[in-house]
Amino acid sequence: MNNFIGTYECKADAKGRVMLPVALKNQLSPVLQQGFVLKRSVFQPCLELYPMEEWNVLMQKVNKLNRFKKKNNDFIRRFTAGVKVVEVDTAGRLLIPKDLVAFAEISKEIVLASAVNIIEVWDKDKYEQAIDDAAVDFADLAEEVMGGDDGIELS
């Protein structure tokens, strides 16, 4: 399992190519050859970059859903809408397809933010707004999620 660290500000060129920062590229180097899956986020106006290995683990879970239940079929369709296989080119650039650029409303300034085992791809202004919006409730959220009431032991 991958565990990425860091938040990186970058620029996208007119074609949607993003030069990966060296520190992030180094973290991705063990999985560069396998490629990535880029998809729309479920909860935020951003994109999610999955190393192929992580995507395959997730798809094993999704594959267990009963497709004869309408809600499962609807979920699969929405979850995989706009999914693209992408690679980092020899120059260290990631090409973000135009439909995904439009979904995330990505302008020239972007943020690549680690989210444990994936990388979120944000328009910089939208990222800053999401961080600001979440800051108000973060203490309560941290207590609820990590407060120790649900069997997670933190040491």
Residue 153 has pLDDT above 80, yes or no: no
Residue 150 pLDDT level (bands cut at 50, 70, 90): low
Band (pLDDT 50/70/90 cuts) for residue 85 is very high
- Residue 84's pLDDT is 96
Number of Cα atoms under 13 Å in the Cβ half of residue 107: 5
Q: Coil, strand or helix: which one is 121?
A: strand
d(CA 52, CA 38): 10
CA distance 39 to 82: 6
Single-letter residue type at 152: I
Mean of pLDDT values over 8-21: 93
pLDDT in tens, 92-145: 999 999 999 999 999 999 999 999 899 999 999 999 998 887 766 777 777 887
Q: C-alpha angle with apex 125: 120 to 127, nearest 5 degrees?
A: 30
Q: What is the mean pLDDT of residues 74-91?
A: 92
Map out the domains of the chain as residue ranges.
Answer: 7-146
Q: How many residues does the chain have?
A: 155
Closest CA to 106 of 29, 17, 7, 8: 17
pLDDT band at 146 (very low <50, low <70, confident <90, very high): confident
Phi and psi at 75, nearest 5°, equal -60, -50
Bridge partners for 109 per DSSP: 11
Closest residue by Cα to residue 104 from 119, 87, 89: 119
Per-residue pLDDT of 20-64, as tens digits, reads 999 999 999 889 889 999 999 998 999 999 999 999 999 999 999
Q: Which CATH number does the domain 7-146 belong to among 3.40.1550.20, 3.30.365.10, 3.40.50.300, 1.20.950.20?
A: 3.40.1550.20
The token duo for 122 is 């944000």
pLDDT at 39: 96
Q: Which of 144, 111, 152, 151 is nearest to 10 (CA)?
A: 111
Query: Using CA atoms, how far apart are residues 123 and 11, in angstroms rounded to an integer?
Result: 10
